A and B are shown apart, each in its own frame.
Chain A
Amino acid sequence: MKIATNMLKRFVGEITNEKLYDLTNRYLTEVESLTPLVDSGELVVGFVKESVKHPNSDHLSVCQVDVKTAVKQIVCGASNVKAGQYVIVALEGVTLPGDFLIKKATIRGVESNGMICSLEELGFEDKNIPEQFKGGIYYFDQKQEIGSNALKALNLDQASLEISITPNRTDLLSVLGFSYDLGAVLNKKIKYPEPEVFEAKIENPLKITILDQGCKRYYARYLDNIKIGPSPAWLKADLIASGIRPINNIVDITNYVLLELGTPLHAFDAKKFGGDEIVVKSAQDLSEVITLDEERRILRKEDITITNGKEVKAIGGVMGLLNSAIDEKTTSIILEAAWFDGKRIKATSERLNLVSDASYRFEKGVDELRVLTALNRAAELMVELTGARVYKNVAFSGEPFKRPTLIKLESEKVNRLLGINLSEEEIKAILKRLNIIETKPQLFLIPSYRKDLLIEVDLIEEVGRLYGYDKLPTALPSITNIGKRSKQQTLLKEIRNHFVHLGLNEVINYSLMKTTEVHLFKALKKATISVLQPLSEDKKTLRQSLINGLVNNVKYHQARQMEKASFFEIGRTYYQDGEVNNLAVIITGNFISGHYLPTEVKSDFFVLKGLLTTLADYLELTFSYQKTTNIAGLHPGVTATILLDGEEIGVIGEIHPNVLKDSYVFEIDLDKIAAKIALKTDYQPISKFPSITRDVSLVISNDVSHQEIAALIEQTARKDLIELFLFDRYSADKFGENMQSLAYRLVFNSKAKTLVKEDIDKIMRSIHIRLERELKAQVRTKEG
Chain B
Amino acid sequence: MEEKVKKIIKEAEEKIALIKEVIEINELKSRFLGKKSELFSLTALFRTLDSEKKKELGILINKTKAKIEALIEVKREEILARIMAEKLAKESLDVTLPGVMFNSGSKHLLTKVIEDFEDFFIGLGYEIKDGPEVESDYYNFEMLNLDKDHPARNMQDTFYVDVNQLLRTHTSPVQVRTMEKAEGKPIQIICPGKVYRRDEDDQYHSHQFMQIEGLVIGEGINMTHLKGTLLAITKHFFGEDKEIRLRPSYFPFTEPSVEVDVFDGEGYVELLGAGMVHPKVLQMSGYNPEVVTGFAFGIGLERLVMIKYGLDDIRHLYTNDLRFLNQFKGVK
Chain B nearest CB, measured from A629 CB (Å): 30
Q: Is the CB of B132 within 8 A of A579?
A: yes
A505 contacts partner chain B, Cβ-Cβ < 8 Å? yes
1/0 per residue B103-132: CB within 8 Å of A?
A: 111111011000100100111111110101
How distant is the Cα of A697 from the Cα of B132 in the complex, in angstroms? Answer: 53
- Partner of A556 from the list B115, B134, B216, B319 (CB cut-off 8 Å) is B319
- Partner of A483 from the list B123, B150, B198, B293 (CB cut-off 8 Å) is B123
CB neighbours (8 Å) of B207 from chain A are 510, 512, 535, 539
Q: By CB atoms of chain B within 10 A, which of A27, A169, A510 has the most?
A: A510
Q: Is the CB of A529 within 8 A of B320?
A: no
**Besides A486-B127, A493-B115, A505-B326, 18 new A-B residue pairs in contact (Cβ under 8 A), listed by A number:** A27-B248, A168-B250, A416-B293, A419-B224, A461-B256, A464-B256, A472-B223, A480-B125, A481-B126, A485-B127, A489-B128, A505-B322, A508-B111, A532-B159, A553-B320, A556-B320, A592-B102, A597-B100
- Could you name 8 residue pairs across A and B whose Cβ atoms are closer than 8 Å? A475-B228, A476-B232, A496-B111, A505-B106, A533-B159, A557-B321, A578-B132, A591-B103
Of B11-19, B43-51, B61-69, B160-168, the one contacting chain A is B160-168
Chain A nearest CB, measured from B78 CB (Å): 37
A206 contacts partner chain B, Cβ-Cβ < 8 Å? no
Q: Is the CB of B325 within 8 A of A476?
A: no
B142 contacts partner chain A, Cβ-Cβ < 8 Å? no
Chain A nearest CB, measured from B103 CB (Å): 3
CB neighbours (8 Å) of A476 from chain B are 124, 225, 228-229, 232
A574 contacts partner chain B, Cβ-Cβ < 8 Å? yes
A722 contacts partner chain B, Cβ-Cβ < 8 Å? no
CB neighbours (8 Å) of A27 from chain B are 248
A485 in contact with B128 given A417-B276, A505-B322 (CB within 8 Å): yes
Q: Is the CB of B248 within 8 A of A533?
A: no
CB neighbours (8 Å) of A593 from chain B are 100-101
* Complex: chain B residue closest to A25, CB-CB: B247
How distant is the Cα of A457 from the Cα of B276 in the complex, in angstroms? Answer: 10
Q: Is the CB of B186 within 8 A of A486?
A: no
CB neighbours (8 Å) of B258 from chain A are 469
- Partner of B250 from the list A26, A169, A477, A531 (CB cut-off 8 Å) is A169
Q: In residues 255-280 of chain B, which contact A (Cβ within 8 Å)?
A: 255-259, 268, 270, 276, 278-279
CB neighbours (8 Å) of B255 from chain A are 457-458, 460-461
Q: By CB atoms of chain A within 10 A, which of B121, B160, B231, B321 has the most?
A: B321
CB neighbours (8 Å) of A506 from chain B are 105-108, 111, 325
1/0 per residue B291-332: CB within 8 Å of A?
A: 001000000000000000000000001111110011000000
Chain A nearest CB, measured from B173 CB (Å): 13
CB neighbours (8 Å) of B103 from chain A are 503-505, 566, 591-592
CB neighbours (8 Å) of B98 from chain A are 595-596
Q: Is the CB of A474 within 8 A of B250?
A: no
Q: Is the CB of A26 within 8 A of B247?
A: yes
Q: Is the CB of A419 within 8 A of B151?
A: no
Chain A nearest CB, measured from B229 CB (Å): 6
CB neighbours (8 Å) of A461 from chain B are 248, 255-257
Q: Is the CB of B160 within 8 A of A533?
A: yes
- Partner of A417 from the list B167, B218, B222, B248 (CB cut-off 8 Å) is B222
1/0 per residue B188-222: CB within 8 Å of A?
A: 10000010101011000001100000001010011
Q: Is the CB of A417 within 8 A of B160?
A: no
- Partner of A565 from the list B134, B231, B318, B322 (CB cut-off 8 Å) is B322
* Complex: chain A residue closest to B295, CB-CB: A477
How distant is the Cα of A595 from the Cα of B107 in the complex, in angstroms? Answer: 26
- Partner of B256 from the list A460, A483, A485 (CB cut-off 8 Å) is A460
A313 contacts partner chain B, Cβ-Cβ < 8 Å? no
Q: Is the CB of B160 within 8 A of A532?
A: yes
B288 contacts partner chain A, Cβ-Cβ < 8 Å? no
Q: Is the CB of B110 within 8 A of A508?
A: yes
Q: Is the CB of B127 within 8 A of A481?
A: yes
A482 in contact with B125 given A532-B160, A556-B320, A593-B101 (CB within 8 Å): yes
Chain B nearest CB, measured from A32 CB (Å): 11
CB neighbours (8 Å) of A470 from chain B are 245-246
CB neighbours (8 Å) of B228 from chain A are 474-477
CB neighbours (8 Å) of A148 from chain B are none
Chain B nearest CB, measured from A497 CB (Å): 8
CB neighbours (8 Å) of B89 from chain A are none
B180 contacts partner chain A, Cβ-Cβ < 8 Å? no
A167 contacts partner chain B, Cβ-Cβ < 8 Å? yes
CB neighbours (8 Å) of A578 from chain B are 132
Q: Is the CB of A533 within 8 A of B122?
A: no
Q: Is the CB of B162 within 8 A of A509?
A: no
Chain A nearest CB, measured from B295 CB (Å): 8
Q: Is the CB of B325 within 8 A of A572?
A: no
How distant is the Cα of A458 from the Cα of B252 in the complex, in angstroms? Answer: 12
Q: State the interface size on chain B (CB cutoff 8 A).
A: 83
Chain A nearest CB, measured from B23 CB (Å): 33
* Complex: chain B residue closest to A477, CB-CB: B225
B155 contacts partner chain A, Cβ-Cβ < 8 Å? yes
Q: In residues 186-203 of chain A, which contact B (Cβ within 8 Å)?
A: none
- Partner of B322 from the list A502, A542, A562 (CB cut-off 8 Å) is A562
* Complex: chain B residue closest to A564, CB-CB: B103
How distant is the Cα of A534 from the Cα of B207 in the complex, in angstroms? Answer: 10
* Complex: chain B residue closest to A502, CB-CB: B105
How distant is the Cα of A489 from the Cα of B122 in the complex, in angstroms? Answer: 13
1/0 per residue A487-502: CB within 8 Å of B?
A: 0010001001001111
B249 contacts partner chain A, Cβ-Cβ < 8 Å? yes
Chain B nearest CB, measured from A266 CB (Å): 26
Chain B nearest CB, measured from A548 CB (Å): 13
A105 contacts partner chain B, Cβ-Cβ < 8 Å? no
Q: Is the CB of B101 within 8 A of A595?
A: yes
A52 contacts partner chain B, Cβ-Cβ < 8 Å? no
Q: Is the CB of B325 within 8 A of A26?
A: no
* Complex: chain A residue closest to B257, CB-CB: A461
Chain A nearest CB, measured from B292 CB (Å): 11
CB neighbours (8 Å) of A597 from chain B are 100
A107 contacts partner chain B, Cβ-Cβ < 8 Å? no
How distant is the Cα of A574 from the Cα of B320 in the complex, in angstroms? Answer: 22
1/0 per residue B51-83: CB within 8 Å of A?
A: 000000000000000000000000000000000
Q: In residues 21-43 of chain A, which contact B (Cβ within 8 Å)?
A: 25-30
Q: Is the CB of B130 within 8 A of A489?
A: yes
1/0 per residue B124-149: CB within 8 Å of A?
A: 11111010111000000000000001
Chain A nearest CB, measured from B311 CB (Å): 14
CB neighbours (8 Å) of A472 from chain B are 223-224, 227, 246
B88 contacts partner chain A, Cβ-Cβ < 8 Å? no
How distant is the Cα of A167 from the Cα of B152 in the complex, in angstroms? Answer: 11
How distant is the Cα of A483 from the Cα of B84 in the complex, in angstroms? Answer: 59
How distant is the Cα of A778 from the Cα of B320 in the complex, in angstroms? Answer: 52
Q: Is the CB of A579 within 8 A of B133?
A: yes
Q: Is the CB of B246 within 8 A of A469?
A: yes
A465 in contact with B133 given A475-B224, A591-B103 (CB within 8 Å): no
A532 in contact with B155 given A479-B188, A507-B320, A556-B320 (CB within 8 Å): yes
Q: Is the CB of B134 within 8 A of A579?
A: yes
Q: Is the CB of A529 within 8 A of B161?
A: yes
1/0 per residue A569-581: CB within 8 Å of B?
A: 0001010001100
Q: By CB atoms of chain A within 10 A, which of B105, B317, B319, B325 has the most?
A: B105
How distant is the Cα of A140 from the Cα of B133 in the complex, in angstroms? Answer: 64
How distant is the Cα of A241 from the Cα of B46 in the complex, in angstroms? Answer: 131
B93 contacts partner chain A, Cβ-Cβ < 8 Å? no
